[in-house]
Structure 1
Amino acid sequence: MLEAALAALAMTGATTIVGAMATTAWENIRSGTHRMFRRAGATEAEQTALLTLLDADAELVDGAAADEDSGAVRADLAPSWNRRLTALLRNHPEAAADLRELLASAHGSGNSTSWVQNVTVSGHGHAYPVQGGNIVIHTAGPEPDATDEQREGPSS
């Protein structure tokens, strides 16, 4: 049960870190992430590499924001941050407190956007709700079936 809780915490941390990239909350999350790894015993070289990686990933997200594709970039980056945080928590379980503190600070660090979304669909309708991101839906027209051809009659 504890392993599942740590896995969930790591995933929440990963999505929070990646989600904060290219936002007003980024500097707070960046420094909190660095502090968390430093407290867990990261060497100077590891800390420098971590900051370089955080900055490079944030630049990817920022660059994609101009192309309105930042959601896809964040989705690509989240699994690698999940792996890093999972390894950190496995090797340094005491880091869980720092990660929880980071998550709590993320909710109060200028990331005050709040959404309420109610979606009702009836009949043959479709709903594609999204909050704080983009959704792209590609659909093809319906395939004609035999009844459509029969209604139109033979083609000339």
Structure 2
Amino acid sequence: MLPEALAALAAAGGTAVVSAMATDTWESVKAGLGRMFGRGDGARAAATEHRLERAKAELAVLSGVELERAGDAQAAAWRTRLADLLEDHPEVADQVRTMIAQVQASKATVTAGDHAVAVGGDVTMEATGGGVAAVMIEGSVLTNRPPSPGPDRA
């Protein structure tokens, strides 16, 4: 049985694999996972990279609830694969930690130009008479319009 710390690492790793699919670090993460799972066998490494690309392609055509469900399923599948790898080769734990940190760092980088706001996480906004416009949204955006003043709220 996998120790609790390695099981938690596998769970975080599975989530990071799916998250990496939408970052600039994807190619690096994919190659690193290929090496981890390949264990020196080029064919096995290539098969892992191919499996990762299929997973990414599957998610790329989905949106909304379907994307969320498929992403959760992919994260669970990679959690299981990583748990099996860590059970057989606990020495790769540092490589898994490095991969997770790499993905987290790539998602934490946000930039904004003049008259813009950039946030590395979920955002809740209240519109006070207008709408919300966004060029790119990665994550949840919740908008709540405050109640209109009525006779009893003036």
| Normalised TM-score (structure 1) | 0.65
Once the two structures are superposed, what CA deviation does each residue of 1:27-67 show, in whole Å capped at 9, x if it has no partner? 232122223224xx2522211210110000000111114x6
For CA contacts below 8 A with separation 6 or more, give which structure has more relative contact order.
Answer: 1
Q: Which residue of 2 aligns with 1:80?
A: 77
- Offset, 1:68: 6.9
Distance 1:35 1:58 in 2: 18
Distance 2:29 2:141 in 1: 23
Structure 1 segments of 4 or more deviating over 6 A?
none
Within the alignment, does 1:26 sit opposite 2:8 as a pair?
no
Q: Which residue of 1 aligns with 2:145?
A: none
Q: Which runs of 5+ in 2 are unaligned?
A: 111-119, 125-137, 143-154
Answer yes or no: is the 8 Å Cα contact 2:122–2:141 preserved in 1. Answer: no
Distance 1:116 1:80 in 2: 25
Distance 1:46 1:117 in 2: 41
When residues 95 and 71 of structure 1 are mapped into structure 2, their CA distance, relative to the original with a 3 A threshold, is same
Deviates more, 1:100-109 or 1:50-59: 100-109
Secondary structure in structure 2 of the residue aligned to 1:64: coil
When residues 43 and 17 of structure 1 are mapped into structure 2, their CA distance, relative to the original with a 3 A threshold, is same
**Alignment length, in residue pairs?**
119
Percent of residue pairs identical: 31
Q: Which residue of 2 aligns with 1:132?
A: 139
Answer yes or no: is the 8 Å Cα contact 1:21–1:62 preserved in 2. Answer: no
When residues 36 and 111 of structure 1 are mapped into structure 2, their CA distance, relative to the original with a 3 A threshold, is farther
Distance 1:102 1:81 in 2: 13
Residue identity in the other structure for 1:37: F
Indicate the structure with greater strand content: 2
Equivalences for residues 1-156 of structure 1 within 5 A? 3-38=3-38, 41-65=39-63, 69-109=66-106, 111-112=108-109, 114-115=120-121, 132-133=139-140
What RMSD over aligned residues (CA atoms) do the two structures have, in Å?
A: 2.7
- Offset, 1:98: 0.5
| Normalised TM-score (structure 2) | 0.65
| Larger Rg over CA atoms | 1
Q: Which residue of 2 aligns with 1:148?
A: none
Q: Which residue of 1 aligns with 2:147?
A: none
